[in-house]
Structure 1
Amino acid sequence: MERYSVINKKYPREIVLLKSTPCKWGKCTFCDYILDNTLDIDEINRTNQVILGNITGQYGTLEVINSGNVFELPPVTLQAIKEVVHKLNIRQLFLEAHWIYRKKLEDMRQFFGIDIMFKTGLETFDTGFRENILHKGFHYSHIDELKSYFQSVCLMVGIQGQTKEMINNDIQLALKHFKHFTVNVYTENSTSIKPDYQLIKWFQENYRWLLDKKPQCEVLWLNTDFGVG
C-alpha cells in the first residue's frame, strides 16, 4: 500500500492516503475501500503520523484522502494535518467529503484556516444510475445546489449499465460547472459491480483529449494513477 505521492501535472501537489474510521455513508455498491478502515483509533493516529512525516510542502498544496471522508479522520490526525499545513506553509488543501457532510464543510474550512477545494464522489450526474445502481445518496435538487458546496466532482466511467450518452453528458456538465473534476476509469474489485470494457475502450479513444486540452480535468486510467493505493 503506497500512502504518499507527488502529483506533478495540472495541479501539482503532494497527496497522502490516510487510515480512518469507517465511512459513515457506507452504501455505495461498487466500493470495497472500507477494507482499509479500522475502529482502532490509536492505530489510525500512529499510522497517519508516519505518513504525514513524508510531506515537504514543496508545492504549497496538499491533498488528503482516506477510504471515506475527511470527517472520519480522528481529531488527533486532523490536528496533526493542521500542524503540518502551518509548519510547511501549505496554502491549499484538497479534501473529500460525501453529500451527507455538506453542512459541515465550512467548519472544516474554519478549522484549517486556509483555502480548501472540496471534492465529492458524485460518480455521475445521471440520477437514476447514481441512486438506483450505485446507491450514492446524492439527493440534490439542482446542479447549482451541488456546486454551492463542492468545487470538484469525481466521475466514474466504464461500469456495466452506463451508456455513452451518460458519459458524454457527465463530461459536458463537469466542464461547464466545475473548475476542477476527476474522471476515474472503473477498476474491477470484489463487489458485484462490474466494468464494461468496451465502454472503457470507447472512452479511452474518444476522451484522451481531456488530458491535454482541459486543464481542470484529471483522468485516472487506473485507480492508482495518483501514486497511492
Structure 2
Amino acid sequence: MEISGIRYTRIYIDIFREVFGVFYKNKIPALNDIETYFKNHEARILKDLLKDQIQKKIIDRGVPIVGFSIPFAQQFIPALILAYEIKNKMHDVHICFGGPVITLLSDQYLKDLIRTSPIDSCVKYDGEIPLLKLLNFILHGKPIDEPNCFLSNKSSVLTPIVFKSFRVRTASQRHKHNRLQKKNIKQLPMETPIPIAQSTGCYWGQCSFCDYINLHVDKVYRSRPVKDIIDDIKYYIDMGFSNFRMLAEAIPPRHANEIANNLTTNNIDIKWHSFLRVDNGFSINMLEAMNKSGFSCTVGMEHSNNCALKILNKGYNQKIIRKFFEKIRIASLSENHLNIIVGMPGITYAQEMETLEFCKEYTDIFNQFKCSIFTLTNTSEMGKNPQKYGIIINEDGKANKFNSHGRISSINFYDPNGMTSEEKHEILKLYEQLNQELRSQIRFNGYRNLILTARTGAYLEDIYFIFDRLSLQQMVNLNTNNNDGYFVVNMSASRRHQVIIDKKLSDMINIFKDKKFNFKDIIEFTTDENIALQYLKEMVNGSLVNVV
C-alpha cells in the first residue's frame, strides 16, 4: 500500500504490531466478516495515522484513480479500510487492487468482493499494461480489449473488475514498463536500493513447499535481456543511484555472469543484490566476476539436513551446499544473507540444531540468517499431497483448505514426527541471537553488549560513534504537532530494528548527524548522564549508530 506513487517501496508498521494485532491474526476474511473490521479500534488508529497523507496526496489533488498493491495477506484488511476511507470522501474515485495477494485469490472471491465493497477493479499477474489500459478507459473512454476481463454492471457504465494479464509480453514491452518515473523517486535517498526486474518465474520451479510459481500465469521462467537490465541501471545511475536489487526468484549462473561482466566491462561502479539457489553451475571464476562487479546475494538454502532437503525437493544435498559455499568463500563474496525454513514436516529439534551449527561455520560469508517457520499452502506440492509427506491436516485446516478464497490461505496441520510450536519458536530465538552477535561485531566492533549493560558512562568515553546515514534518511514524522514530534526509523536489515525517538533525541541527531561524537558529547547535549546513557542505548539498540 503506497499512496505516494512510488512502486515497490515498503513502509513497515511493525512497530505497531501490538496495536494492530487484528491485522496480523487475520488474513483473508470471509466477505460477510469484512465489515466488522471497519469499526474496531485498530481501524480508527490506521485511518488517523494516514488521514493527512490521504487528504494531501489524494483528495486535495483530485486523483481520479487510486491503486493498492498488496504483497502480503496481512495487508489486505488495512488496504480495504483505507479504500473505504478514500471512497467515503471521494465517491467518484476509481479504486483498483493488485499485487501478489490479489493474483492468488479466486476470481469468484474478487467478483463478490467488488460487488460488496468500494473496490472497482482488480488486476491479476503483471499489472502495468492492464493498468495503463484502465487509465485510458477511465480518463479517455478508450475501450478495453484486454482478454479475460470480467465485466459488471456495478455502475451505469460497464466497469472492468478483474484483469488477468495472460498475454506474454515481449522484451521491449517489459523494458518499457519497468522504470520508475524520475518525478516519483527524486525524493528518495541516494542509498535507497532500486528494484530492477531480472526475470519472472523460477528456473528451478520444483520446490515442494513453494507457492510463488503461481504468481506467474504460465509458470514459465523468462529472463530479461542483459542489455535492457544494464540500460535500466544506467537510467538510475544518471539520477545518482548506485544500489540495486534484482527482482527474481533466483538468478541463474549464466545470466548473473553476463550481467557482472557487462557491468565490469563498462566500468559501472554499483552495488547489486539478487537471490541465488545453491547451484553447481556457479564456478569460482563466475563468482569472482560477480564480486568484482559489486554483487552480494541472498541464498535460498532453506536447510542443511539431507532429510529436510529431500522433503523440500531442493535438488541438492549438504555436500553440494558445502562445495557451493566454499566457492563463495574463495571468491571473497561477503555480506550475504542465508534463508532458513524452520519446522518442516518430520524434522526434529535435533536436526534443526544441526542446521544452526552448520550456519555458524559460514558467518564469514553470511552476515544475516533470515529464518521463518514453515507454512503449508493450498497449491504447493505439499498442500496438494499432504499424506505423501506424513502431514495430517487438522479439521479447521480441512475447512480452510476448501474455503480459502483461492490459493492465499495457509493450512493448519499436525506433524506427529516434527517439532512443537514452542520448539520452533525457540529455534527462531537462537537464530536471532546469532544475528545479533553478527550485527554487534560488524556495526559496533564488539562493544554492543558493553554499551547496553552499562550502568554509568565510565567505560564508554573512548568509544566514538557516527550516525548511520541510511537509517536517518528513513525517518518518518508520525506526529503533525511540530512541538511534540515523534519519528519512527525503519531499518533495512531487520524489522525488529525499528525505534520511536522523541523530539529531543531527534534534535540531537540533527546536531551530530554529520560528525563523530562520543559519550561526553551526548552528556553535554542532555546535561544529564543518566539521560545520555538512555539515549545512547536507544541509538545502539535501534542500530542508529556505528562505532568508528
Same fold (TM over 0.5): yes
Alignment CA distance shift 1:185-1:25 (3 Å): same
Alignment of 1:15-164 (within 5 A): 16=195, 18=197, 20-37=199-216, 61-71=243-253, 78=259, 82=263, 89-90=269-270, 92-103=271-282, 106-107=285-286, 110=289, 113-131=292-310, 133-139=311-317, 141=319, 144-150=322-328, 152=336, 153-164=338-349
Alignment match of 1:202 (pick from 394, 403, 426): 426
Counterpart of 1:173 in structure 2: which amino acid?
Answer: F
Q: Secondary structure at the match of 1:214?
A: helix
In structure 2, relative to structure 1, the CA distance for the partners of 1:210 and 1:107 (3 Å cut) is closer
Residue by residue over 1:89-134, the C-alpha shift from the partner in whole angstroms, topping out at 9 and shown as x without a partner, is 42x4333322335335744753784243344211111011112x10
- The equivalent residue for 1:182 is 369
Consecutive unaligned residues in structure 1, runs of 5 or more: 7-11, 222-229
Distance across 2 between alignment mates of 1:148 and 1:41: 27
Aligned partners of 2:199 and 2:248 also within 8 Å: yes
Root-mean-square deviation (CA), in Å? 4.7
Cα displacement (A) at 1:170: 1.4
Q: Distance in 1 between matches of 2:284 and 2:8?
A: 24
Distance 2:223 2:281 in 1: 24
Native 8 Å contact 1:121 1:154 kept in 2: yes
Cα 1:170–1:207 change in 2 (3 A) is: same
**Aligned position for 2:98:** none
> 2:369 touches 2:435 (CA, 8 Å); kept in 1?
no
Pick the structure with greater CA Rg.
Answer: 2
Query: How far does residue 135 in structure 1 lie from its aligned partner after superposition?
Result: 0.5
d(CA) in 2 for partners of 1:146 and 1:126?
15
TM-score normalised by the chain length of structure 1: 0.62
Deviation at 1:138, TM superposition (A): 1.4
2:314 match: secondary structure:
coil
Task: State the shift of 1:159 in Å.
Answer: 2.7
Q: 2:230, 2:263 within 8 Å by CA — same for their partners in 1?
A: no
Separation (CA, whole Å) in 1 of partners of 2:215 and 2:290: 26
- Runs of 5+ in structure 2 lacking a partner? 2-6, 12-190, 330-335, 384-410, 413-418, 443-492, 497-548
Supply the AA of the counterpart residue of 2:438. K
User: Once the 2 structures are TM-superposed, how far is the Cα of residue 157 of structure 1 from its aligned partner?
Assistant: 1.4
Q: Distance in 1 between matches of 2:200 and 2:305?
A: 29
Structure 1 or 2: more helix by fraction: 2
TM-score, length-scaled by structure 2? 0.30
Q: In the alignment, what sits opposite 2:353? A: 168
Q: Is the 8 Å Cα contact of residues 93 and 116 (structure 1) preserved in structure 2?
A: yes
Change (3 A) 1:203 1:65: farther
Q: Residue type of the partner of 1:3?
A: Y
Q: Tell me the distance in 2 between the aligned counterparts of 1:130 and 1:40.
A: 26
Greater fraction strand: 1
CA distance in 2, matches of 1:163, 1:129: 10
The Cα of 1:143 is off from its aligned counterpart by 5.6
Task: Give the secondary-structure state (helix, strand or coil) at the position aligned to 2:201.
Answer: coil
Counterpart for residue 534 of structure 2: none
Q: Structure 1 residues 144, 107: CA separation in 2 closer, same or farther (over 3 Å shift)? A: closer
Asked if structure 2 preserves the Cα contact closer than 8 Å seen for 1:69 and 1:97, the reply is yes
Q: Deviations over 1:2-51 (max 9, x none)?
A: 63569xxxxx9726373624322211101121234456778xx9999889
- Letter paired with 1:158: G
Which one-letter code corresponds to 2:307 in the other structure? Answer: G
SS in 1 for 2:299: strand
Match in the other structure for 1:9: none
Structure with higher RCO (Cα < 8 A, 6+ apart): 1
Percent identity for Structure 1 against Structure 2: 15
Partners in 2 of 1:154 and 1:211 — Cα distance?
A: 12
Q: Distance in 2 between matches of 1:15 and 1:187?
A: 29
Q: 1:225 maps to which residue?
A: none
Report if aligned partners of 1:4, 1:17 keep a CA contact under 8 Å in 2.
no
Return 139-148 or 104-113, whichever deviates more. 104-113
Partner of 1:212: 436
CA deviation profile, 1:129-172 (whole Å, cap 9, x unmatched): 112x1010114536641312345532211333222222222122
